[in-house]
A and B are shown apart, each in its own frame.
Chain A
Amino acid sequence: MKKRIAALLLSTVMAFSLTACGNSAKTEKADNKETKQTTETVEDMSFDEMVDAAKGTTVTFYGWGGDDSLNDWLDNYYAPRLKEKYDITLERVPMDIDAILSQLSGEISADKKDGDIDMIWINGENFKTCKENNMLYGPFAEELPNFQSYIDTDDEETNADFCFPIEGYEAPYGKAQLVMIADTAVTPDLPTNTDEFMEFCKANKGKVTYPELPDFTGSAFVRNVIYDICGYEQFMDMEADKETVKAAIEPALEYLRELNPYLWNEGKTFPKDSTALTNMYSDGEVVMDISYGAYSTATNIENGTYTETSQSFQFDKGTIGNTNYIAIAANSGNVAGAQVAINEMLDPEVQADRFAEIRTIPVVDYNKLNDTQKEAFDKVEIGKGVIPQDELLSKRLPEMPSALVPIIEEIWAEEVVGK
């Protein structure tokens, strides 16, 4: 009998706690009405009003956290600057983009209004998915003063991210461009096109490879091979249809299959990601590294991760470049603060410091800068082993539509691995 009572008591307690949950959800909703109102009015705010609204608030910045130099720069330059200038506290949250998106979609499907995520480091396919599913706040980018003053609006990458229209839902954060890196002390002759690359692999049999797709860098490398063999123009408006794509890239597939026997582990397996490849290069297991950070060669030589004689190179026809961006979550609790912070990221001073400290290709348009601002960029010593910026950017190829990317990755897995 006693137990029955206990059980009854327990179930009542549980029932109560459930209703308590319900209640708190309701009160939360009531609170949210207020915050929702503020987000609605943020759209009508001028930038100065946003600065006022953002004073004393905290902005969260979600993004990949595996790059120590970038983390360091954000924590010790960008965050203090925001604090000093706008009294905004930046909370950097290191998270993989997959985890960020699953958290965001969880919050949105639970109808959480005052969301934890404010700024997100994003681009390409992920941006497309988010924008199409209304997971982002916007449009906001074009309204930012620094965007209007310093960003080149004619630049293809300002308007489209992997050929997907941005429409003000994200603001540029940094530029990346694919480069290959080899040690000139080990391999003095660096390939300048895919034919020479084939010879390079034959000469260094078993010591060249690329990251397994769908790794970001590996995928870009394969697209780059495709561009070099098939040209890039045809892909810009290609239909996202597997048969069409396969027919178009067939010569490149043939080339990649032919390449396999000369690759590391005879192309039966590939390193899991670009960081694994970098470690293999640094360990001397392979003779070539591939990187999206065009100037990371310089910092890696300075750190000692690469040998002093490492040199980055690209194909004569060019390598793929893209921009990565910052977006704002649709349910962000601090839209005003996020916009102020993003605007600050586009400040030439900030971009110049970032260029100097971690060698990210800046997103601001050099021609729109005044002389002192230009000087800040000019005086940066990029360091050893890199391709000069004008040469690098003159051989910059656009990304293909993001819808084609997963298709190519699928075809690669079916037609190239182990064949």
Chain B
Amino acid sequence: MKRKKNIWEGLIIGIFIFLVIVPILTILVWVGTERWAWPSLIPQKFSMRAVNGILRNRQQLVRLCMSSLFISASVAFLSVVIGTMTARALECYDFFGKRLFSFMSMLPFLVPGTVFAMGVQITFIKCGLSGTVQGVIIVHLICSLPYAVTLMQDGTRAMGVKLEEQARVLGAGALQAFFKVTLPNLFPVMLSAFSMAFVVSFSQYFLTLMIGGGNVKTFAIVMVPYLGSGERNFASIYSVIFLVIMLLVFGILEWIVGCFTKAQEVEYY
């Protein structure tokens, strides 16, 4: 069914694209700009200071990106595993205190990170988790889990248990039914949950700072001080790198989803 494109629709989409693209282009220009005073249309002073600064520390930066990617990927993977299980428990089973659990899984949405950071910090210090990668992964999980749970809950609800029950009727074991029927169907949702959790973890600054205590460095830890410093070219180049990493990660995930849905035409939703 093809709908005639409404002119207003096109206009609104156009405005949105404009609102996203123009700031990104501005950031790109600022990477190589030192001074750009009003009312000139082009910057008065170009310089490669930020680019050179990045290139000089490229080894450090690559290491930084790797550790950041590792942390965020671990967080995202764990979020998906826990999220899938939580969603399944909340959607397919009835148990005492279910609504409380459901509410509590959303709690980190409601309480700002800065509020619980201090308590988490002291607890983690006592447990010997502060200043360790494990500690940072756990604290990132607190923030990214609600997203993963919400997404997985929607997915699980949309899929229901009918297909799985059918598989059981046809003689599959509980595990077989789950891994052969439910899991493949949930896979695209799991990937969205993965990317969401990844983004949340990758941009986490304050909690990483509190729990990592400077021992655990992520990309955000190094980037954020530049954002506030007024060195616009450095802020821009870090933003661009951040954006590129995000786009790459999303691109790869999209590609996986693409391969997957091509291989297996599923009726979804």
Interface residue ranges, A against B (CB under 8 Å): 3, 7, 21, 24-25, 28, 60, 62, 64-68, 72, 75-76, 91, 93-96, 99, 102-103, 106-107, 109-110, 112, 116-117, 273-276, 278-279, 282-285, 303-307
Contact = CB atoms under 8 A, between A and B. Distances in A.
B229 A3 contact: no
B258 interface: no
A283 B36 contact: yes
B262 interface: no
Given A66-B225, A68-B226, A106 B128 contact: no
Contacts of A75: 57, 60
A106 B214 contact: no
B171 interface: no
B53 A102 contact: no
Contact of B214 (A7, A60, A72): A60
B37 A304 contact: no
Interface in B203-229: 206, 209-210, 213-215, 217, 221-222, 225-226, 228-229
B225 A64 contact: yes
B126 A285 contact: no
B234 interface: yes
A90 to B, nearest CB: 12
Contact of A99 (B34, B47, B209): B209
Contacts of B38: 283-285
Contacts, number: 112
Interface residues of B, number: 41
Interface string B104-140: 0000000000000010011001111011000000000
A133 B214 CA distance: 22
A106 B230 contact: no
Question: Which 8 pairs of residues, A with B, have the shortest CB-CB distance?
Answer: A275-B230, A66-B229, A93-B214, A284-B37, A65-B225, A304-B45, A304-B34, A110-B125
A107 B129 CA distance: 12
A21 B37 contact: no
A279 B225 contact: no
Contacts of B95: 3, 7
B154 interface: no
Interface in B19-51: 34-38, 45, 47, 49-50
A28 B222 CA distance: 30
A60 B222 CA distance: 15
Given A64-B225, A284-B37, A305-B35, 13 more contacts: A21-B128, A25-B127, A25-B128, A66-B229, A68-B229, A102-B210, A107-B130, A110-B122, A112-B125, A273-B230, A303-B49, A304-B34, A305-B45
